[in-house]
Amino acid sequence: MSDSIRAFIAIELNKDIQDSLAKIQSQLRAARADVKWVKPENIHLTLKFIGNIEIDLVIKIKEILQEISKIFQNVPADLNELGAFPKIKNPRVIWVGMQTGKDKVIAILEELEKRLAEIGIAKEEKEFHPHVTLGRLRSPHNRSDLVAMLEKNIKIPPLNFTIDKIVLFKSALAPQGPIYEPQAEVSLKAS
C-alpha cells in the first residue's frame, strides 16, 4: 500500500448543477470534436491541484480546511459563462465560469494557498480563474465546428448554488478515467 496519494482540493457541486452541465456537454458533443468529456458525476470546481502528497498530510490539510470553514460560510455562486483555455479560437479546455461568488472563491483560494504554504505545499504561480472543466480536446479533429459552437455562445440557464462544502480528494488514474475519492471534507454551512 502506498503512503502517498495524488490529491486536489475542490468545491463539490450538487447533482442538479452537474446534470445541467451534462446537458451543455451534450449540446457541445454535436460538434463531433475529439473531446474527452468529464463524467457528470466528476464535475467540480478545483481550487487547488496539489499532486502527490504523503498520506500524513491529509490530517493537516483537513485542519486547514476546518480553519477556512470558520471564515467563509454559505457562499452564493453561479455558473454562467461558457469559455475555453487558452482561448475560444484555439480551445484545449472547455469550461463554464462564474460571476456571482467569483471574488469569494478567489479569497478562499488565497487563504488556502497561504495556509498550505506553511505546511510545505507550494503556491500556484498561475492566475486563478474559477471555472468548472467540461472537457479537454485530444486532437484537432472537428475543432473548427466546436469553435463555431463556442462562438455562438450557447445559452447557459442560470446555475445558481451555494458553496457549502470544500473537499480534499484523492485522484486515482484509471483507464476509464480518474476516480475521485473524498479524503476529508468540511462544511461551510453556518452553524
DSSP, collapsed to helix, strand or coil, labels residue 67 as: helix
Strands 90-97 and 159-163: unpaired
Give which of 73, 152, 68 is closest to 110, Cα–Cα: 68
131 in active site: yes
The H-or-E segment that residue 168 falls in is strand 165-172
Q: Is 177 left (phi over 0), alpha (psi -120 to 50) or beta?
A: left
C-alpha cell at 40: 457528470
β-sheet bridge partners, residue 159 = 79
User: Distance between CA atoms of 172 and 183, rounded to whole angstroms?
Assistant: 12
- Between the two ends of the chain, the Cα-to-Cα distance in Å is 38
DSSP single-letter state for residue 124: P
User: Distance between CA atoms of 95 and 85, rounded to whole angstroms?
Assistant: 8
Catalytic one among 60, 131, 143, 165? Answer: 131
Catalytic one among 35, 40, 44, 146? Answer: 44
Are 166 and 5 a contacting pair, CB within 8 Å?
no
Q: What positions carry a catalytic annotation?
A: 44, 131
